[in-house]
């Protein structure tokens, strides 16, 4: 009897502890009549607050743990990268120490000169040699192309993004021994070309000119506005030349001379390299033209004129003597006075 009574007292005390501060009214979750969740009794509110605090504490602990793991990973990556860099430097040092040097291990470099303010003395007959930008930097302290005389004194710079050449060191731009040594070519940004004098003065200042070739004496072949012209530098005159046939093909203009011999003076040869490209020999071209077109090309005509221009759509096609050929080349004779006559 006493034991049963003790158990009953203990159960009553436990229930009272759990239900402490609960009022058992409809808003209390321990009430059998709790039908709404919009209100809580003081005990229920305390339980709810305790649950929220516990969830927040757990989230905080998880975030702290993740941050610690991330910091540990970053530190490990930093140490690994640092060790790899140190190993790389050590390996490079070892290779440098084991390297075998043949000759002077510290060769002297050519000093880059200071920009040149004083230009060379020149006149209308001064021979022009071209130099490119890397030579301009080494010789004159300015990374630009330009022209110099045979003593390597500066004549003029060509300007940024421009390049230079001369007729006698470019075999495709001259044909005769009367090549003008006192004229240069300036290539303006790969878009146009112009003649230039020792003073730096340009001949045309015309962006429509795409190609210039020296033919003989004062005569030049100029490609201007997609057409070819005979230009006489002494009189500053242009004469349009006929196009090759068929008209949809590309025209080729090849001069034929009476005496195709060429002598390049030694004083215009550039030392230390094969800068000079010899003018092509027209002897074979002349003999072939005399044999293939005897009614149009004769020794007398060649002797009495400055030269003859063979106009065709291909140099080798000009001598196609096949009986079924349906086209014929054109021959234009240029007199010593600059007059033209079409044969």
The model's pLDDT over 22-48, given as tens digits with 9 standing for 90+, comes to: 655 667 766 666 555 566 677 777 777
Nearest to 333 by CA among 278, 283, 289: 289
pLDDT at 269 exceeding the cut of 70: no
Q: What is the mean pLDDT of the chain?
A: 77
Two tokens at 293?
A: 């077109």
pLDDT at 265: 59
| Of 84 and 246, the one with more pLDDT | 84
Report the range of poorest mean pLDDT among 7-11, 186-190, 296-300: 7-11
* Look-up of token digits 């040092």: 93
What count of residues does the chain have? 343
CA angle 147, 148, 154 (to 5 degrees): 105
Query: Which three-class secondary structure state does DSSP give residue 315?
Result: coil
Does the pLDDT at position 301 exceed 90?
A: yes
User: In angstroms, rounded to a whole number, what is the distance separating the alpha carbons of residues 318 and 311?
Assistant: 8
Place 4 in a pLDDT band, splitting at 50, 70 and 90: low
Q: Is 192 left (phi over 0), alpha (psi -120 to 50) or beta?
A: beta
Q: Percent of the chain at pLDDT above 90?
A: 22
Cβ-Cβ contacts under 8 Å for 183 (sequence gap 6 or more): 128, 166, 167, 195, 196, 197
Of the candidates 338, 333, 172, 318, the residue with the CA atom closest to the CA atom of residue 257: 333
Question: What are the phi and psi torsion angles at 261 (to 5°)?
Answer: -115, 145
Least reliable range by pLDDT among 89-98, 127-136, 158-167, 208-217: 89-98
Residue 318 confidence (pLDDT): 46
Residue 219's DSSP bridge partners are 216, 232
Residue 225, Cβ neighbours under 10 Å: how many?
10
Q: Does the N-terminal peptide bond of residue 246 adopt cis geometry, omega within 30 degrees of 0? A: yes
């Amino acid at each position: 009897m006493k034991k049963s009574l003790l158990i009953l007292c203990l159960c009553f005390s436990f229930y009272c502890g759990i239900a402490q501060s609960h009022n058992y009214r409809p808003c209390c979750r321990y009430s059998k009549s709790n039908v709404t969740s919009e209100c809580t009794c003081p005990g229920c509110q305390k339980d709810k607050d305790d649950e929220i605090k516990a969830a927040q504490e757990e989230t905080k602990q998880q975030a702290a743990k993740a941050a610690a793991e991330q910091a540990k990973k970053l530190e490990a990556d930093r140490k690994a990268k640092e060790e790899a860099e140190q190993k790389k430097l050590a390996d490079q040092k070892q290779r440098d120490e084991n390297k075998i040097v043949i000759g002077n291990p510290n060769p002297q470099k050519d000093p880059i000169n200071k920009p040149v303010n004083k230009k060379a003395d020149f006149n209308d007959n001064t021979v022009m040699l071209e130099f490119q930008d890397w030579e301009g930097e080494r010789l004159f302290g300015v990374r630009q192309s330009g022209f110099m005389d045979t003593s390597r004194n500066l004549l003029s710079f060509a300007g940024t993004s421009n390049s230079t050449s001369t007729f006698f060191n470019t075999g495709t731009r001259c044909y005769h021994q009367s090549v003008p040594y006192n004229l240069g070519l300036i290539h303006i940004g790969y878009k146009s070309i112009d003649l230039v004098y020792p003073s730096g003065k340009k001949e045309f200042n015309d962006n429509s000119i795409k190609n210039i070739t020296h033919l003989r004496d004062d005569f030049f072949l100029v490609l201007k506005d997609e057409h070819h012209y005979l230009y006489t530098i002494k009189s500053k005159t242009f004469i349009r030349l006929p196009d090759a046939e068929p008209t949809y093909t590309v025209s080729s203009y090849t001069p034929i001379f009476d005496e195709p011999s060429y002598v390049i003076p030694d004083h215009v040869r550039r030392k230390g390299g094969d800068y000079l490209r010899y003018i092509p020999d027209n002897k074979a071209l002349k003999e072939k033209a005399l044999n293939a077109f005897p009614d149009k090309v004769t020794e007398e005509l060649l002797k009495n004129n400055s030269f003859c221009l063979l106009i065709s759509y291909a140099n080798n096609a000009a001598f196609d003597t096949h009986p079924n050929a349906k086209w014929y080349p054109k021959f234009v004779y240029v007199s010593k006075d600059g007059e033209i006559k079409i044969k």
